[in-house]
Amino acid sequence: MRADAERSTMRILEAAETVLAADPNAPMERIADAAGLARATVHRRFPTRKVLLEALVEQVNERYLLALQRARVDAAPPAVALHRLTESLFELKVSHRFGIQLTGDVLSPAVIERLDLVFTRLHAAGEITAVRPQWCRQVFRALVHEVDELPPDAPELGPADSPGARADLLVRTLLGALNA
Amino acid sequence: MRADAERSTMRILEAAETVLAADPNAPMERIADAAGLARATVHRRFPTRKVLLEALVEQVNERYLLALQRARVDAAPPAVALHRLTESLFELKVSHRFGIQLTGDVLSPAVIERLDLVFTRLHAAGEITAVRPQWCRQVFRALVHEVDELPPDAPELGPADSPGARADLLVRTLLGALNA
DNA sequence: AATAACTGAGTCAGCTCTGTCTCATTTCCG
DNA sequence: CGGAAATGAGACAGAGCTGACTCAGTTATT
């Protein structure tokens, strides 16, 4: 694969993210335009729309996994790990909104496993009463989405729009929800 | 409008709900089939797909409002009202999954107003610390969705699958989330 | 500089969905 | 019963998207 083609592939993935985030049914041509390429070129890398979507999912799963290991999910105190993970996730959301939304159904097993680890450890530490990691994951994902859609000046985020404000709110809300 | 045509209209709305819940992009013909009618007949009632969708939204808004007044939102203790409202909402979800999902953006002002009333009253009663009804609504809707997707035998719902088990879980979780 | 890889632009057939129209037939309602 | 309304079946044009293909021109690599 020529360095040339590599760049094109990346461009396409980026363009697909931004375009499909705005309109999940956008035609391939709009993605090609956003990437500054011809539609035919997109079809050369990704023969089918389905293939392109799968590539997006895989890409997000990789970054997800990266965020999990940067959060030191298995070593750090679980509440801290959750907080760090959340911060990374919000960053991930700005550049990969569509992909994340798409992974709702098809999170990679590796990601699920690590994610569940956070919640079992939270339970073991007595920070939450909820038992099943699956349920915790569901609530987590839902709240991440809601917090993410909060406008920057929302009172829930506190006075200053500090970078960790969203993560704070999320952790607080999630622990409250899973303690009931 | 002949009694005949009235029935057809209802059939179409019902069919649209069930078909679109499974596939939001399903073609008009599939809706017509599900309604036991010809595609042309559907187009006679609802000239455009857009019009049909709007009708679905309106229908859900009506039922939503009905649920709110049956819950005695303005008189009953707010926690009780919330519980009753939640029960109705879960019922509504089984028959109007698609419409409810669609109303995420376009809830009627009347519904929003009544819904906000619940949360301001909850705050006044000291049951939640969250202030902004908008934020409460967001979290509420998100959790309703997650609880609704829980399988009937989920441990979170308790031993017996009593009718109010889901509402119990939701109220518990929501109050926890909005207290953090 | 030569070769191989990549790309742009255009064309093409095929498919699906939409919305409209017609006309014969069935169904309601007074 | 008889007229009016509603329906089914089918055809129709139009639009949009997809995926494949060609070929001339550009770009990277050795």
> Is B155's CB within 8 Å of A132's CB?
yes
**B43, closest nucleotide (Cα–C1'):** C19
Of B140, B169, B137, give the one whose Cα is nearest residue B152: B169
Residue B170 Cα distances to B9, B87, B105, angstroms: 35, 10, 22
* CB atoms closer than 10 angstroms to residue B20: 22
Of B22, B24, B99, give the one whose Cα is nearest residue B60: B99
Whether residue B172 is found in the same domain as residue B104: yes
Whether residue B36 is found in the same domain as residue B125: no
CB A4 within 7 Å, strand D: yes
Whether residue B67 is found in the same domain as residue B150: yes
Whether residue B37 is found in the same domain as residue B59: no
Burial code of A14-39, b = ≥16 C-beta within 10 A, e = fewer?
bbbbebbbeeeeeebebbbebbebee
* Shortest alpha-carbon distance between residue B154 and chain A (Å): 9
The Å distance, CA of A49 to C1' of D12, is: 31
**B7, closest nucleotide (Cα–C1'):** D6
Strand C-proximal residues of A, range 3-62, CB below 7 A, are 4-5, 7-8, 36-41, 44-45
How many Å from the N-terminal Cα to the C-terminal Cα in chain A?
54
Answer yes or no: is pLDDT of B179 > 90: yes
pLDDT at residue A162 in the model? 81
Mean pLDDT of B86-90: 97
Whether residue B69 is found in the same domain as residue B27: no
Where in the sequence is the domain holding B36, given as residue range(s)?
1-47
**B29, closest nucleotide (Cα–C1'):** C17
* Shortest alpha-carbon distance between residue B103 and chain A (Å): 16
- Helix B133-148 with B78-102: angle, nearest 10 deg: 70
* CB atoms closer than 10 angstroms to residue A55: 17
> Is B179's CB within 8 Å of A175's CB?
no
- We report the CATH number of the domain holding residue A117 as 1.10.357
pLDDT at residue A173 in the model? 98
Mean pLDDT of B17-22: 98
Answer yes or no: is pLDDT of B21 > 90: yes
Mean pLDDT of A110-130: 98
What residues have CB less than 8 Å from B63, skipping those under 6 apart?
Answer: B92, B96
Nearest-by-CA chain B residue for A172: B180
Mean of pLDDT over chain B: 97
The Å distance, CA of B78 to C1' of C19, is: 49
- We report the CATH number of the domain holding residue A2 as 1.10.10
Give B124's Cβ-side CA count (13 Å radius): 9
Residue carrying structure tokens 């008009």: B28
Q: Which tens digit of pLDDT belongs to each residue from A92-106?
A: 999 999 999 999 889
pLDDT at residue A146 in the model? 98
Q: What 8-state DSSP symbol labels residue A155?
A: G
Q: List protein-proximal bases of chain C (any atom < 7 A from a CB).
A: 5-11, 16-22, 27-29
Whether residue B61 is found in the same domain as residue B128: yes
Whether residue B41 is found in the same domain as residue B60: no
* Shortest alpha-carbon distance between residue B170 and chain A (Å): 9
Whether residue A123 is found in the same domain as residue A64: yes
Answer yes or no: is pLDDT of B102 > 90: yes
Q: How confident is the model at residue A161 (pLDDT cuts 50, 70, 90)?
A: confident
pLDDT at residue B176 in the model? 98
**Are residues A153 and A118 in contact, defined by beta-carbon separation less than 8 angstroms?**
no
Answer yes or no: is pLDDT of B125 > 80: yes
Q: Which two tokens stand for residue A157?
A: 């985020």
> Which residues on B lie below 8 Å from A23 (Cβ)?
none
Of A171, A59, A142, give the one whose Cα is nearest residue B104: A142
Answer yes or no: is pLDDT of A108 > 80: yes
- Interface A–B counts its CB contacts (< 8 A) at 62
* Shortest alpha-carbon distance between residue B20 and chain A (Å): 16
Whether residue A117 is found in the same domain as residue A94: yes
Q: How many domains does chain A have?
A: 2
Whether residue B72 is found in the same domain as residue B152: yes
Whether residue B132 is found in the same domain as residue B159: yes
Q: How confident is the model at residue A163 (pLDDT cuts 50, 70, 90)?
A: confident
Residue carrying structure tokens 């989330």: B177
Q: Which two tokens stand for residue B13?
A: 């709305």
pLDDT at residue A136 in the model? 98
Whether residue A92 is found in the same domain as residue A156: yes
The Å distance, CA of A129 to C1' of D17, is: 50
pLDDT at residue B49 in the model? 98
CB A2 within 7 Å, strand D: yes
- Helix A78-95 with A133-148: angle, nearest 10 deg: 50
**A50, closest nucleotide (Cα–C1'):** D18
